[in-house]
Amino acid sequence: GQNIDQPTEMTATEGAIVQINCTYQTSGFNGLFWYQQHAGEAPTFLSYNVLDGLEEKGRFSSFLSRSKGYSYLLLKELQMKDSASYLCAVRPHGNYGGATNKLIFGTGTLLAVQP
């Protein structure tokens, strides 16, 4: 089967750093994505990892270890507007015609940033 695990909820303080973990077991691997979703809004793309290591983009960084089936999203200098759900998604190998763009999602981690 295919499975993505991430914590359901996390709480952090404004100005602090928070790390959201994601572990996955999928039939193949062709990239891992993090999306941010504010309540009542569309998920928006945050980061993409396909090779092991850290990808940094401003206050947000994402790490991948393919051998461990593990990723994390690191948010620095937290702001109140960072309160949202963070979705981890894996693109496994496709079943038809080579690589596809199908994604398998975790349940999302609801992050609450407190003053």
Partner 1 sequence: ETGVTQTPRHLVMGMTNKKSLKCEQHLGHNAMYWYKQSAKKPLELMFVYSLEERVENNSVPSRFSPECPNSSHLFLHLHTLQPEDSALYLCASSRKSPNRVPRNEQFFGPGTRLTVL
Using CB under 8 A, pick the residue from 23, 30, 61, 83 that binds partner 1. Answer: 30
Give the interface segment with partner 1, choosing from 17-25, 26-34, 66-74, 75-83 (CB under 8 A).
26-34
Q: Which of residues 53-92 bind partner 1 (CB under 8 A)?
A: 87, 89, 91
Which candidate, 106, 83, 108, places its Cα nearest to that of 12?
A: 83
List of E strands, 26-59: 32-37, 44-49, 53-57
d(CA 113, CA 115): 7
User: Does residue 4 touch partner 1 according to CB under 8 A?
Assistant: yes
CB of 14 to partner 1, least distance (A): 26
